[in-house]
Amino acid sequence: MQRDLMPLIQHDLLRKVVLLSGPRQVGKTTLSQQLMADRPGSQYLNYDVAAHRAVITAQSWRQSAPLLVFDEIHKMPRWKSWLKGVCDGRPPEQQVLVTGSARLETFRQAGDSLAGRTLRWRLLPLSVREWCGQQHAQPAQALTHLLSRGGFPEPALAETDEQAQRWRAGYFEGLVREDVLEFSRLQDIRAMRLFAEMLRSRVGSPLSLASLARDLQVSPSTLARYLDILEALFIVFVVRPWHHNIARATLQSPKVYFYDNGLVRGDEGLRFENLVACHLLKQVQWQQDSRGSASGLHYIRTKDGAEVDFVLSEGESLTHLIECKLSDAKPHRALARFADAWPEAQAVQLLRECQVEADLGRIQLRAAADWLAHLQA
């Protein structure tokens, strides 16, 4: 399966070193192999493999390789300075792709040694748009499939639901046991595992770390660190309240969603909201990576409890107000309220099951499958 980012990465490799990050098993290695197939003689080196690590450390790879792919080198001490030397010393025609299953900017090596030398892309799970394009499916079929299987390639393409479930069980356990330990050197992995499990049933709700901390008998600051680690490893992502004052926004309760829709514990409404969140995040990050835009994903909640699931922003302006419903075609009261407060924003009520699309005042009732299929990412 060819991902939509592939031609964009091909183009950027002609100009800069490309940093490609994303969740484990989301398809980075497959995409790298497809890029290498178009460039005979290319070389793939994974820092986790001892033999490859020796070649990386000695810089003894084939100098004639038209494309070098370095995987997981963020685990190497002073990797940014090392990569700067590779960038500056490579032959002019040699292309370099760096991939990693953790957010490369989160690692503690300091300095801006790569400034001006790299371009960033983030590869996320399959979207309705990608599934339709690759599998020649209709948007409604794609949405149903991704709600059931999630957007990671292996379970999405599995022959049976049982195969997909077996993959997911091993995937989640491996993330918590191996990646979290390697990334953070945590002593109490049991508390981290329990925290991650608890988040699975709290998708889409404002998160009280103080309450969870009491249940787990740890400090709120410890849970905040755990959440940062889960974010950095592409296990969950955080959606914070919209506010012009960013500092105030970070003090309010965040909402947490999973990159793997199959990890959500809850009814179809929660799984649907999580899937929409993944699509909106993918759209926002595509705009950031492809255009350098100041796009953002947030939600709105007032002190009196009025809430809209998601808002999209560009700089200090809101562009979209989005509410998710399974089938309720009655305009959401809070959505109507905020649509009046931000008349420049497009107010959309996404329906999992939509009999007919309509415009009711400023609110657009839209079939979620078709609307998501027309996103750019």
CB 126 within 8 A of CB 158: no
Single-letter residue type at 215: D
Q: What is the pLDDT of residue 191?
A: 84
Pairing of strands 346-351, 363-367: parallel
Query: At CA 295, angle to CA 351 and CA 199, rounded to 5?
Result: 60
Pairing between β-strand 43-46 and β-strand 17-21 as defined by DSSP bridges: unpaired
How do the pLDDT tens digits run along the chain, 377 residues long?
Answer: 899 999 999 999 999 999 999 999 999 999 999 999 999 999 999 999 999 999 999 999 999 999 999 999 988 888 888 999 998 889 989 999 999 887 665 443 444 567 678 899 999 999 999 999 999 999 999 999 999 999 999 999 999 999 999 999 888 878 777 777 766 666 677 888 899 999 999 999 999 999 999 999 999 999 998 999 899 889 999 999 998 765 666 668 899 999 999 999 999 999 999 999 999 999 999 999 999 999 999 999 988 889 999 999 999 999 999 999 999 889 999 999 999 999 999 999 999 999 999 999 999 999 999 999 999 99
Angle, vertex CA 278, rays to CA 272 and CA 279, nearest 5: 90
Which residue in 216, 215, 209, 259 sits closest to 27, CA to CA?
A: 259
Which domains are assigned to the chain?
6-122 (3.40.50.300), 128-373 (no CATH)
Task: Please report, for residues 13, 182, 287, 359, the alpha-carbon distance to residue 295 in angstroms, rounded to integers and kept in the order given.
Answer: 24, 32, 7, 26
Contacts of 60 (CB under 8 A, 6+ apart): none
* Cβ atoms within 10 Å, residue 28: 23
Kindly report the number of other CB atoms within 10 A of residue 198's CB atom.
15
- Distance of alpha carbon 350 from alpha carbon 143, whole angstroms: 13
Question: What pLDDT was estimated at residue 303?
Answer: 85
Would you say 234 and 102 are in contact if contact means Cβ atoms under 8 Å apart?
A: yes
Q: Residue 241 class from Cβ within 10 Å (0-12 exposed, 13-18 middle, 19+ buried)?
A: buried
Question: At residue 214, what are phi and psi to the nearest 5 degrees?
Answer: -65, -40
CA torsion angle 112 114 115 119 (round to 10): -140
pLDDT value, residue 109: 41
- CB contact at 8 A, 21 and 122: yes
DSSP string across 287-337: HHHHH---EEEEEEE-TTS-EEEEEEEETTEEEEEEEEESS--SPPHHHHH
What pLDDT is stored for residue 207 in this prediction? 93
pLDDT, residue 37, reads 96
* pTM score: 0.93
Closest CA to 361 of 331, 341, 338: 331
